Amino acid sequence: MAGFFKLPKQKKFTYKPRFYNEREELRKERFEKIKQEVEAEKDGKQSSLNKGDLVNYIQMRRKAQKKSNLRVLLILTLLLLLFYYFFYK
């Protein structure tokens, strides 16, 4: 019975998953810039700081500060709730 019907063969896909790690990319960029600055200092040239570098650094610091503040607020809230629960109930 199987000889009467011609069944299509399975298709093979060459799927290669991609992974993007933003932190890794930023780390590599910083490493390359530092490497260029060190080489420039060896040659006696002054290294230049880009405005974009400063902006990226400030943005990263702000994000880290916000996360830190949120954590402290969350811990403080939980401690106050536990204190209230144990002493007033």
Each residue's pLDDT tens digit in the chain (89 positions)?
556 778 788 888 888 778 888 888 889 999 998 888 888 778 776 555 666 777 888 888 999 999 999 999 999 999 999 999 998 87
The pLDDT of residue 50: 66
Enter the tokens of residue 37.
């600055």
What does the angle CA 12 – CA 18 – CA 20 come to, to the nearest 5 degrees? 170
